[in-house]
Structure 1
Amino acid sequence: MKALVLNGLKEPLTIKEVEKPVLEPDEVLVKIKAAAFNHRDKWIQEGLYSGIKYPIILGSDGSGIVVETGLNVDKDWLNREVIINPSFNWGDNPKAQSKEFKILGLPDNGTLAEFALCKAEYLYKKPSHLSFEEAAAIPLAGLTAFRAIFTRAQLKPRERVLINGVGGGVALFAMQFAVAEGCEVYVTSGSNEKIENAKFLGAYGGVNYKSTNWVQDLKELAGGFDVIVDSAAGEGFKELVELANPGGRIVFYGATKGTIKDLDPRRIFWKQLNILGSTMGNKTDFDSMIRFIEQHKLLPVIDKVFPLEEANDALDRMKKAEQFGKIIIKIE
């Protein structure tokens, strides 16, 4: 089969002919129609991820058609249009993942190939209102966003929400989910164009965090926030504490800006704040997310669709933070 392979540290992805996976009794083989890039793929390429091995077929997101099933798998799955939950081996504790937890695309080969292998328990029917490209945009980013705002932050209708750094997949899903839930949503971005795009999708407003007065601008625009969603951490995190309403929740799922510094604990306990970490999600989260998307007929935001042969160009676009939405790879 044809696959997009990462052969070594900081090397470009290359298209290779590799052997088609061999099924275990509880596994299925999915003919991939579309896959998507995540920042995780970029970090693996750059050596900024634990447990890296080469060669590896990247890709955590994928949609396609089941073409083969293992001996112990219900044959009704054959020829179904599906998406894959990339969150493997969560474990029995719904509050946190187990030591055996892993994400599709490392250490196991992922979805940037003509065929991908997974256990049947991680298959879900593709929502009928979505194309394969739209469905492929969902798994990793959608699951991360859904768990962060609903399971961890316990978002409720009519709450005021701030999505910090809109434009990437997780932040956009969090914004779409909050808008669909009936919340008053605001955003930040380093791009005025992305802020305008977010407003078109239902955000009430936003500010550019490159402005020296962005915190005061947000206060004047919206006051304070009941829920704040962040992926950056770093030095700017302390400003989120300032922006949170009393009793508010700040949930973060990444640390692209590094260590949180100069955080005043007095502001946190006096305002009765909850600061919540979140990573991916369990099968209950994924199932709830799919039902939510179907109920609200949500359409993932797609930045651009690339053919497999232009995958390195697609990855470069993500590295430059040029995208607004998910970058999709169409696999013929």
Structure 2
Amino acid sequence: MKGILLSETGGPDNVQYMNVEQPIPGIGDVVVRLKNASLNRRDVFITYGMYPGMNLPSILGADGAGVVYSVGDNVESLMVGDEVVINPGINWGPDINYNAPDFHVLGMPADGTFAEFIKVPSENVYRKPAYLSWMETAAIPLSALTAYRAVITRGDVKSGTVVFIPGIGSGVALFALQIAIARRARVFVSSSSDEKIARAKRMGAEGGVNYRSESWVKTLKEEMGSADVIIDGIGGETFKDLIHLAKPGGKIINFGATAGPVPELVLPRVFFKHLDIRGTTMGSPQEFADMLQLFEQHEIRPVIDKQFPLADAASALKYMEEGSVFGKIVLDIS
């Protein structure tokens, strides 16, 4: 079969479209013939070696959807021909509050979805939502699960909750916007692009500001007031502004640090406001099932930015790295 293999780090140009061994299901496994896969920021980080537990060579890709091709022994819940989507989080563990030590994500160290076939444990395979296309289904797993856990489990967002999502445009941020709106929250966003802010408003955001403006924090505070919940994947210097924007007793839910570590955090600003700063990443199998149910209930559709053929995965990774993306980047495998 064909797949996208990373054997050494150095960036997206180091990925290779090549023949790789087709997997055979073991006990409790299924092999899925993939229709589409989608990119996440972690795929770019992995090509540079900027990810914990690097173990190469590996086929990249966490997200994918397709048709069950073969099943191993002791698999009773799935049959050949079933249309499915894959939960990329392997071995979450028994506690919904945090993942087990051996938890890992498809696409390194385990071979991922940038290939024609993939082998996964049967418990990580779920029925494809009937209302979604293959491309839309493949765009969901990692980003939507991360957003669901951040907004629902960790953020406890409800009707009327004021939510701020900085850096709108990424897959997780857009899913967080859609999930929060489905919960009837009041959502505000920021971006360096006025066009992205306008698109977010068309999706249901109540307001937004361009953080290139020197007075963006003041402007947002006047427009939004203070936020009950902030969903942050940026970190860096901006994190200190989030503390100012949070309501006393509010929550800052962090799932990433694309801008790096937070410098010189002044702790009194946190404890005098009685803030909850909560970390989160990915989610449990139950949360994945609940996320799919919420999506079906509200017919939430992922925003697709651009599609590439599998063979052109290097170009897709470089396009993501440019930072102008609004939505998910999808690979066509079929």
TM-score interval, normalised by the smaller of the two chains: over 0.9
CA distance in 2, matches of 1:70, 1:25: 5
Q: Equivalents in 2 of 1:111, 1:261: separation in Å?
A: 36
Q: Using the TM superposition, give the Cα deviation of residue 76 of structure 1 relative to its aligned residue in structure 2, in angstroms.
A: 4.1
Q: Which amino acid aligns with 2:169?
A: G
Q: In 2, Cα distance between the equivalents of 1:47 and 1:277?
A: 23
Structure 2 match to 1:300: 302
| Distance of aligned partners of 1:49 and 1:82 in 2 relative to their CA distance in 1, 3 Å threshold | same
What secondary structure is seen at the aligned counterpart in 2 of 1:210? coil
- Work out which of the residue numbers 251, 254, 271 in structure 2 matches 1:252: 254
**Which residue of structure 2 lines up, in the alignment, with residue 115 of structure 1?**
117
One-letter amino acid of the structure 1 residue matched with residue 5 of structure 2: V
Q: Find the aligned partners of 1:94 and 1:50 in 2 and give their Cα distance.
A: 22
Tell me the SS of whatever aligns to 1:251: strand
Letter of the 2:96 partner, please give it: P
Match of 1:83 in 2: 85
Q: Is the 8 A contact 1:15 1:309 kept in 2?
A: yes
SS at match of 1:77: coil
Distance in 1 separating the partners of 2:120 and 2:148: 22
- 1:35 aligns to what? 37
Q: How big is each residue's C-alpha offset from its partner over 1:241-300, in whole Å with a ceiling of 9 and x where there is no partner?
A: 110112211000011112212323222222221110001111111111010000000001
Q: Which residue of structure 2 lines up, in the alignment, with residue 291 of structure 1?
A: 293
Look up the match of 1:148. Answer: 150
The Cα of 1:310 is off from its aligned counterpart by 2.0
Contact preservation (8 Å) 1:226, 1:245: yes
3-state SS of 2:278 partner: strand
For each residue in 1:82-132, what CA deviation from the matched residue of structure 2 results, as whole angstroms up to 9, or x when unmatched?
A: 000001111112111111110011111000000011000001101000001
TM-score, normalization by structure 1: 0.98
Which segment drifts farther, 27-36 or 265-274? Answer: 265-274
Residue 12 of structure 1 deviates from its aligned partner by: 2.8
Q: Give the match for residue 223 of structure 1.
A: 225
Partner of 1:233: 235
Instruction: Give the Cα separation in 1 of the matches to 2:320 and 2:236.
Output: 21
How far is the alpha carbon of 1:25 from its aligned partner? Answer: 1.3
Partner of 1:131: 133
Query: Partner residue of 1:325?
Result: 327
1:191 aligns with one of 170, 187, 193: 193
The percentage of aligned residue pairs carrying the same residue is 46
Task: Tell me how far 1:148 sits from its aligned partner.
Answer: 0.8
Partner of 2:7: 7
Write out per-residue CA displacement over residues 20-79 of structure 1, whole angstroms, 9 at most, x where no aligned residue.
112111000000000001111100101111222222100000000001000110164321
- More divergent stretch after superposition (296-305 vs 68-77): 68-77
Q: Distance in 1 between matches of 2:78 and 2:195?
A: 46
Long gaps (5+) in structure 1: none
- Distance in 2 of aligned mates of 1:82 and 1:65: 6
Runs of 4+ in 1 over 6 A off after TM superposition: none
The amino acid of 2:28's aligned partner reads D
Q: Which stretch shifts more, 2-11 or 147-156?
A: 2-11
Aligned residues: 332
The one-letter amino acid paired with 2:137 is: A
How many angstroms apart in 2 are the aligned matches of 1:124 and 1:307?
Answer: 25
| Aligned residues of 2:56 and 2:108 also touching (Cα < 8 A) | no
CA distance in 1, matches of 2:269, 2:9: 43
Question: Is the partner of 1:64 in helix, strand or coil?
Answer: strand
Partner of 1:206: 208
Name the CA distance, whole Å, in 1 between partners of 2:305 and 2:79.
Answer: 31
Aligned mates of 2:267, 2:324 — CA distance in 1? 36
Answer whether contact 1:69 1:75 (CA < 8 A) is retained: no
Find the aligned partners of 1:9 and 1:107 in 2 and give their Cα distance.
Answer: 14
